[in-house]
Amino acid sequence: MKVSVLQYEPDYLAVAANLDRVESMLADLESDLLILPELFATGYFFRSTEDLQSVAEPVPDGPTTKRLHDWSRRLGCVIVAGVPELCSGRLFNSAVVVAPDGPIGRYRKLHLYYQEKLHFSPGNSGLPVFDVTDRTGVRYRLGVMVCFDWYYPETARSLALAGADVIAHPSNLVRPDCPRAMPIRALENHVFTATANRVGKETTGDETLEFIGQSLICSPDGDVLGRMDRDAIGLATVSIDPLVSRTRTVTPHNDLFADRRTDAYVL
């Protein structure tokens, strides 16, 4: 199957224009799984909670999830994308998962970064893993984490222990370290990872954040299968066999998960 990550620069709060731009970037896409960045249609560095409220929407009934589903149906592709979710008056930094047949779930970011804590509630939906199908009918298991979740190795580990073959990772990275860390998250859990980041800058007036691009897709052996440049705009696509993640033999005497010493760890 093919996995793709999209990297671009959204305009702050310009949801309709951002959706149109992403749609035009996807026109010729042939892929089974597409990852879009965190908060891909709204921008990230909210100047106020009112700004965030003005673009937050219910999931799955909001317009962005509906548009994602249109794309998924037309492309025959599962899509994971970051959306600001409004639920019972609370705001979550969420990622939705849509398949051609319809939306199949969402994940609410557990580990909020920096000023996200001023505006969002921390996730309360656990770490679900979704059963999905590629265009040839191969079923695989898809986990989702959002950006700063990478900093907590427990996140990727929990998804892998729950059976994820591929971890989709919508991001708005500003720290330089994640592109170095993701091959290790993939290796230490023997999963595929696909990080879709954005580029450009956003300012609140007082402070400016610069996003670091470098979207990347990693193999269960920790190899970087595809990586975009810091300022690149476009898509990176690689071919993978998602089910190779399931063989976790390290040596004839070592199995990655069976050998875990949960009796000795501090959790």
CB of 130 to ligand ACM, least distance (A): 21
Angle between helices 63-75 and 15-25 (to 10 degrees): 10
Q: Which helix (H) or strand (E) holds 21?
A: helix 15-25
Nearer to ligand ACM, 164 or 212 (CB): 212
Q: Which of 85, 109, 178, 218 is catalytic?
A: 109
92-128 residues labelled b (16+ CB within 10 A) or e (exposed): bbbbbbbbbeebbbbbbbbbbbeebeebbbebebebb
Query: Is 38 noted as a catalytic residue in this protein?
Result: yes
Are 38 and 57 within 8 A, CB to CB? no
Residue with tokens 């319809």: 102
Nearer to ligand ACM, 11 or 76 (CB): 11
Q: CA–CA separation, 96 vs 105, rounded Å?
A: 6
240 Cβ partners below 8 Å, 6+ apart?
1, 2, 3, 166, 192, 217, 219, 225
Supply the minimum distance, in Å, between the C-beta of residue 231 and ligand ACM: 18
| Start-to-end Cα distance in the chain | 36
Q: For ligand ACM, which is the closer residue by CB, 20 or 210? A: 210
Q: What angle do CA 246, 251, 257 make, to 5 degrees?
A: 45
Is residue 57 annotated as part of the catalytic site, yes or no? no
Output 37 or 242, the one with its CB closest to ligand ACM: 37
**Residue 81 or 173 having the CB closest to ligand ACM:** 173
Catalytic residue selected from 77, 147, 178, 218: 147
Parallel, antiparallel, or unpaired for β 224-227 and 216-218?
A: antiparallel
Is 2 one of the catalytic residues? no
Q: Of 168 and 173, which has the nearer Cβ to ligand ACM?
A: 173
Q: Provide the minimum distance between the beta carbon of 1 and ligand ACM in the complex, in angstroms, as a whole number.
A: 27
State how far the Cα of 186 lies from the Cα of 216, in Å rounded to an integer: 11
Q: How far is the CB of 125 from ligand ACM (least distance, A)?
A: 17
Q: CB of residue 174 vs ligand ACM: minimum separation in angstroms?
A: 5
Q: Which DSSP category does 256 fall into?
A: T
DSSP 3-state of 49: helix
Give residues in contact with ligand ACM (CB under 6 A): 38, 113, 147-148, 172-174
Provide, rounded to whole angstroms, the least separation between the CB of residue 121 and ligand ACM. 15
> By C-alpha distance, which of 148, 141, 154, 189 is closest to 169?
148
Residues with catalytic roles: 38, 109, 147
